[in-house]
Structure 1
Amino acid sequence: MRQASFFRFWFVGGLLSAVGLFIFFWMIRINLSPQAEVFRKIGSTYETYRKTIYPERGNIYDRWGHLLAGNVETYEIGVDLRFVSDPQTIAATLAQVVGLDYNTVYDSVSEPWDSDLPRYVKLADFIDPEKIDQLDSIEKQLNRQREEASSRRRNTVMPNLDGLIWTPMLKRSYPEHTLGSNVIGFYAYRERETARGYFGVEEKYNQLLAGTPVEVEVALDPYKMNEIPSVPPGASLMLTLDRDIQAMSERILDKHIESSGAKSGVVVVMDPETGEILAMAVTPRLDPNEYWKYSEVFPGITAYNRAIGTTYEPGSVFKVLTMAAALDAGVVQPSTPFLDTGVIMVGGVPIRNWDRGAWGPQDMIGCMQHSLNVCLAWVATQLGPSKFYNYLNNFGIGHLTGVDLGGEASQPFLVPGDNGWYEVNLGTNSFGQGIAATPIQMITAISAVANHGKMMAPHVLKAVIENGEQYSNPPQIIGKPISAETAETLTNMLATSLEEESSAALVDGYRVAGKTGTAEIPGPGGYLDSATNASFVGWGPVDDPRFIVYVWLEQPQTSPWGSVVAAPLFKEIVENLVILMDLPPDSVRQGMAGQ
């Protein structure tokens, strides 16, 4: 029994050893045989290479979750030259369905396959799924015809699309088209490997939206492209914008630009308590779905978003800051008397009122109500250059606000000791001439008056959504240029001045504070004779400000005055804004609070 087991053990062992030796010598024979090179070439078709996979770009939403920027599936079309047998049909089909040039496609797909050349040739990218469905239907029809004819026509090449490949890819999509496009910016997706965001949120938060690329092993065989591993998408952003308020602001701005003949316009709506930008309507606007038309929409224009990228002399809206500084420094009170003679000498240069007239006895409310340049220049001299420019610095004039949008600009102002500063600058700067700011700087500075002296950081990012978690962007105080008492006093002064002049900015049922602005436009040889910038800034309700609105119309033609063209624009914006924000009239709201 033991002897039989011993022989079986040696038999099995010997048999396995023989098989192993056979396999070993056969592998050597294969590697040394003339066919070895053929096998190696076949194996090379299934090699892999390292490729960087870019995540799906994060979405952008408004504050209520409405999609403003996302991604849609499109396709890349190419051919694997190893399998192409009918280049004519491929070229004709792509010319008919996709619109590609027949000769170009034919030349690309009719090349014989050479192992030393790329096997995959890209023909087109970002093709809509509808066209892919047409190609798929044609391919299936040709395959059916080939199968039906195979039994009758042997060794005959039937029309086919063999070798034609389409693989999915993403492109950036903006479902609201031009809505908020100056804030959103655009993603230049056609550049593929070097694609990035330009302007607005797409530029400012490009890295967050793009996510983290991953390097992976990918098969050379294009038919295995669906085996590429997925990577986590980039972060999504929730903005402070309200889609409905944005759409309303753009619609009303466009209407008033047309009716006034203005060259361009800006409307910014902000919550003064948080610095959240609810709307930023700007012209011109680009449809980011067609971002390559940028030069057509912005011919010779350097700023994609004029609300943050264009400085201008704001004119009399600047008087809000001058009066705020004077009240806060204690050099004037609302009842401080002033005799307006129609002219004041500052640095030996006469400064006159906008109408060249003299308004006689006034107090500070009257000075703001009638927008008297002479009075505000006098107020600035009472402050003196040191205090005046210190306050402007504290208000952020001449500095970037840090708004989270790509392309913000700023223009520093001159102070005593600078080359080009003269004493008269103190007088002209007091009413917004000879000094430049962007609309975002102006609304940020003046929002301190609407927010009890606290200046909030303007921002459009409300929250980041990443890995299933939401991270909120909290409001930030960036300065307290004036006291709460000064802010309340000036707010009531400006509300009273609007009411006493029966301003076109008044809104039925809601008490608002505000100031008009009309500024001459500097040119190469001095100020232009027949062109102005018309502005208005206002906020409300006065007892509990929930919004501040800044309006700028560039070079209106029907009237040069902010009180005529900018104030009615503010009024119409606010009339719609209180509805969209669900703000009851003052009497209703105060009655409810008193219960």
Structure 2
Amino acid sequence: MNGGIGRMRLIGAVFVLLSAAIVYQMVRIQNSEHSRQLVEMFAKTYNQQVRVIIPERGNIYDRWGNLLAGNKEVYEVGIAPQQVINPETVARDLAAVLEVDYYDTLRKAESYRKEGNERYEVIKDFVPAEKIRMLEEKVNAYEQAEKPKKGPAPSLVGVFWRPHLIRSYPENELAANVLGFYNYLDRWTGRGMLGLEEQYNNLLAGNKQQVILPMNPTEIQEIPEIPPGASLITSLDRDIQAAMERIIDQAVEANGAESGTLVVMDPKTGEILAMATTPHFNPNEYWRYGEVFPLGSYFNRAISQLYEPGSVFKVLTMAAAIDAGAVQPETPFVDVGAIEVGGIWIYNWDRGAWGPQDMVGCMQHSLNVCLAWVAQELGPTQFYKYLQDFGIGRYTGIDLAGEQVYPLSLPGDTNWYPVNLGTNSFGQGVAVTPIQMITAIAAMANDGKMMAPHVVKAYIQDGVQYAVNPRVIRQVVKPDTARTITDMLAASLENEASNALVEGYRIAGKTGTAEIPGPGGYTSMTNASFVGWGPVDDPRFIVYVWLEKPTSSPWGSVVAAPVFSQAVEELVVLMKIPPDEVRQQLASP
């Protein structure tokens, strides 16, 4: 009995090995050089070709159905030499309309008569529809004209055009840094590059199909129809995106900044409503990519460029300390202008001493010394545990290709020193991206729940729409902590009459000014930023502003805070958010 089972297992193993060998041989043969040569010989001998039928690429829409990326019909124009009646007309008209070489076209048009060539010859690809209409008008004119008394009649017989699709971005530069691009000039192996086009390439592209077709399009009887790729509905709002791009462009120019980034998120869902970065890029002309983004620069700074954030990071430090019970808003602190951490002295941004403060005052005046003390009260174990929970040093997982991350140095690492506890508390010595910062701080506007940031709201496949549901990453702080931080930051803006305030709306927020490290230490250039959310009683948005190396002023309160205010003034209109007083009256019984 046992011997029979053993033989059956042996036979089964032999069959498995044989099947694997057959599959291996099939793959090897299909991808071998000999196989490629056979396909080429088949095409030359039988005037046929192995054609990959590419399905229509899926569209990309904003949240309201406005088309951001779609497809446009263009044409391939070619000649069937054996059908050409008047080579001179063919060469003359194609050269004039398509702007191709007359003599090369004439040679191809005469190739059947002179060489017996029956192969279909492509003259030009990616021809716009208006050019085809011009050719059609000539065809109609020749058909209606009287035949000449001598010589061949003008004729475009033997000229054919067949349509195909290219990627099209009807809004040109709008949201290009989010969309990415599709290298459509490569008709057979093109793929999505960067942004959504790369992240969702397989879904957008659909499934290709390989068939054998005559090279002469006049001999093609039927091309198989295959389903299109899936379409994406994004969380972007076209009007908000356009407004934010305009605002950040103006801010970069007005402040002489090297670049600008402005991100708007719904803190309750993690949906990105707008993501505006500079410089801009037109994906319809994707081959100019290198002119706009030289080697070493980033396509989308919001997710790819790492930088030291400065004082906006204090929101996380204070939230962690309050959540752990290390301090409370009313906790007193006497600022003497300096504090020693790990044997190194830390100073305030103005090198001044601010005297008696509470935690609201520490945040309002953005006191480095106070926040370093707060981090010490919290202790390194808890401090870095909270930072990890906030996602510092970790990918947010946003659904865009190209996200970068820098590891967070932790106690025990070779590159961590005791002074890091102090400097990290106010955003120095730690590298983040804007998407990491807005994702972490958005938890303050969402009762302590940190949501996964995402750009795709739904996708449509085979006529069915599938929703992408919001996802909670984790509860990083308690709801009471989040509301306390919100109230503290709203009060600090009001107490200092901040440039970030918006009339009629109570806003919470924090400035950031960070020196930029260089090879020999910190330079005089800064990163100026501001993060804010509102309305504080029912947050509908959180906005992150970052201006890189502004020359008008180094301070986030001067440079970035007014940009935030401008952004919110537009947002409340576009999002139809009434002023606080009106909303509260409507809500009251």
State the shift of 1:85 in Å.
Answer: 4.3
Instruction: Compute the displacement of 1:559 (Å).
Output: 0.6
Q: What is the CA-CA distance between 1:220 and the residue it aligns to?
A: 4.0
1:316 to 311, 315, 326: 311
How far has the Cα of 1:84 moved from its partner? 2.7
Q: Secondary structure of the equivalent of 1:445?
A: helix
Distance 1:442 1:103 in 2: 61
Unaligned runs of 5+ in 1: 1-43
Residue 225 of structure 1 and its aligned partner are, at CA, apart by 4.2
- Give CA-to-partner distance per residue, 1:297-345, whole Å, 9 cap, x none: 1123432100001111010000000001111111000011111000001
- 1:381 aligns to 2:376 (yes or no): yes
Structure 1 residue 104: deviation in Å? 3.4
Counterparts of 1:479 and 1:117 in 2: how far apart (Å)? 69
Instruction: Report SS of the residue matched to 2:112.
Output: coil
**Further displaced range: 83-92 or 261-270:** 83-92
Q: Per the alignment, do residues 117 and 386 of structure 1 end up closer, same or farther by CA in structure 2, a change over 3 Å counting?
A: farther
Q: Matches of 2:354 and 2:347 in 1, distance apart?
A: 11
TM-score in terms of structure 1 length: 0.89
CA-CA distance at 1:417 after TM superposition: 1.9
1:161-215 Cα shifts (integer Å, max 9, x gaps): 2321111111111110101010111111101111000111111111111111123
Q: What residue number does 2:131 align with?
A: 131
Task: After superposition, give the CA deviation of every residue in 1:67-115 in whole Å (9 maximum; x if it has no partner).
Answer: 1111111100111121234433322222211112223333443333799
Letter in 2 for 1:52: V
Q: Which of the numbers 542, 558, 580 marks the counterpart of 2:536? A: 542
Alignment of 1:281-320 (within 5 A): 281-320=276-315
Q: TM-score, normalised by structure 2?
A: 0.90
Q: What displacement does 1:479 show?
A: 1.2
Going from structure 1 to structure 2, the CA distance change for 1:47 and 1:112 (only over 3 Å counts) comes to: closer
* Alpha-carbon separation, structure 2, partners of 1:163 and 1:148: 18
Distance 2:583 2:489 in 1: 22
Equivalence for 2:71: 71
Asked if the contact 1:46/1:221 (under 8 Å) is kept, the reply is no
Q: Work out the CA distance in 2 between the residues paired with 1:254 and 1:392.
A: 32
Contact 1:45 1:221 (8 Å CA) reproduced? no
Equivalent residues of 1:62, 1:243 under 8 A apart = yes
Alpha-carbon deviation of 1:116?
9.1
Please say which of residues 505-514 and 134-143 is displaced more in the overlay. 134-143
2:179 pairs with 1:180: no
- Counterparts of 1:268 and 1:521 in 2: how far apart (Å)? 21
Matches within 5 A, 1:260-409: 260-409=255-404
Distance 1:227 1:140 in 2: 26
Once the two structures are TM-superposed, the CA of residue 49 in structure 1 deviates from its matched residue by: 5.5
Q: Out of 469, 479, 485, which is 2:480 matched to? A: 485
Alignment map for 1:86-105 (pairs within 5 Å): 86-105=86-105
Q: CA deviation at 1:117?
A: 6.1
Q: In 2 relative to 1, CA 118–112 (structure 1 residues): closer, same or farther, beyond 3 Å? A: closer
Deviation at 1:228, TM superposition (A): 1.2
Residue in structure 1 matched with residue 491 of structure 2 by the alignment: 496
Q: Quick one: distance in 2 between partners of 1:328 and 1:139? A: 78
Alignment CA distance shift 1:203-1:116 (3 Å): farther
Matched residue, 2:82: 82
Q: Distance in 2 between matches of 1:351 and 1:414?
A: 19
AA at the equivalent of 1:148: K
Amino acid in the other structure paired with 2:170 = P
Q: Distance in 2 between matches of 1:534 and 1:46?
A: 66
Aligned-partner SS, 2:544: strand
Contact 2:112–2:118 under 8 Å retained in 1: no
Q: Deviations over 1:438-462 (max 9, x none)?
A: 0000000001111001000000001
Residue matched to 2:147: 148
Give the 5 Å matches for 1:2-17.
Answer: none
Which structure has the bigger radius of gyration? 1
Provide the residue aligned with 1:466 in structure 2. Answer: 461
Q: Structure 1 residues 586 and 193 mapped into 2: Cα distance closer, same or farther (>3 Å)? A: same
Gaps of 5+ in 2: 1-43
Q: Alignment partner of 1:193: what SS?
A: coil
Give the counterpart letter for 2:226 in structure 1: V
Matched, 1:245 2:244: no
Distance 1:297 1:118, change over 3 A: farther
Task: State how far apart, in whole Å, the 2-side matches of 1:300 and 1:53 are.
Answer: 35
Give the CA deviation at 1:144: 3.7
SS in 2 for 1:572: helix
How far is 1:62 from its partner?
A: 0.3
Q: Which of 169, 187, 190 is the matching residue for 1:192?
A: 187
Query: For residue 566 of structure 1, what is the aligned residue in structure 2?
Result: 560
Determine the C-alpha separation between the residues in 2 that align with 1:327 and 1:118: 81
Q: Is the 8 A contact 1:318 1:431 kept in 2?
A: yes
Q: How many matched pairs?
A: 546
1:353-375 per-position Cα deviation (integer Å, ceiling 9, x unaligned): 00010000000000000000000
The answer to whether the Cα contact below 8 Å between 2:81 and 2:117 also exists between their aligned partners in 1 is: no
Structure 1 residue 222: Cα displacement: 1.1
CA contact (8 A) 2:235 2:272 kept: yes
SS at match of 2:185: helix
Give secondary structure in 2 for the equivalent of 1:250: helix
Distance 1:262 1:394 in 2: 32
User: In the alignment, what sits opposite 1:38?
Assistant: none
Q: Does residue 586 of structure 2 align to residue 589 of structure 1?
A: no
Q: Is the 8 A contact 2:147 2:153 kept in 1?
A: no
Tell me which amino acid in the other structure corresponds to 1:393. Q
2-side partners of 1:201 and 1:520: how far apart? 33
Query: Structure 1 CA distance, aligned partners of 2:527 and 2:118?
Result: 60
1:453 match: 448
The 3 A distance-change label for structure 1 pair 382 and 117 is: farther
Q: Secondary structure at the match of 2:74?
A: strand
1:469-494 residue CA offsets vs partner (Å, 9 max, x unmatched)? 11110000011111111101111000
Task: Report if the CA contact (8 A) 2:409-2:416 is conserved.
Answer: yes
Aligned residue number for residue 551 of structure 2: 557
Deviation readout 1:223-246 (Å, 9 max, x if unpaired): 144731321111111000000100
Q: Decide whether the 8 Å contact of 2:111 with 2:117 is kept in 1.
A: no
Q: Distance in 1 between matches of 2:81 and 2:116?
A: 12
**Residue equivalent to 1:24:** none
- Cα distance in 1 for residues equivalent to 2:583 and 2:350: 40
For structure 1, which segment, 217-226 or 484-493, has the greater mean C-alpha deviation from structure 2 after superposition? 217-226
Offset, 1:139: 2.5
1:293 to partner: Cα distance? 0.6
Give the superposition deviation at 1:416: 1.7
Preserved contact between residue 74 and residue 129 of structure 1 (Cα < 8 Å): yes
**SS class of match (2:188):** helix
For residue 229 of structure 2, the aligned residue among 219, 234, 242 is: 234
Q: Secondary structure at the match of 1:75?
A: strand
SS in 2 for 1:227: coil
Identity in percent: 60
Partner of 1:37: none
Q: Could you tell me which residue of structure 2 aligns to residue 168 of structure 1?
A: 163
**Residues in 1 aligned to 2:249 and 2:221: alpha-carbon distance in whole angstroms:** 47
1:435-450 paired onto structure 2 within 5 Å: 435-450=430-445
Contact 1:376 1:430 in 2 (8 A): yes
Q: Deviations over 1:410-468 (max 9, x none)?
A: 00121122222111111111111110100000000001111001000000001111111
Is the CA contact (8 Å cut-off) linking 1:73 and 1:169 kept in structure 2? yes
Rounded Cα–Cα distance in structure 1 between residues aligned with 2:242 and 2:277: 11
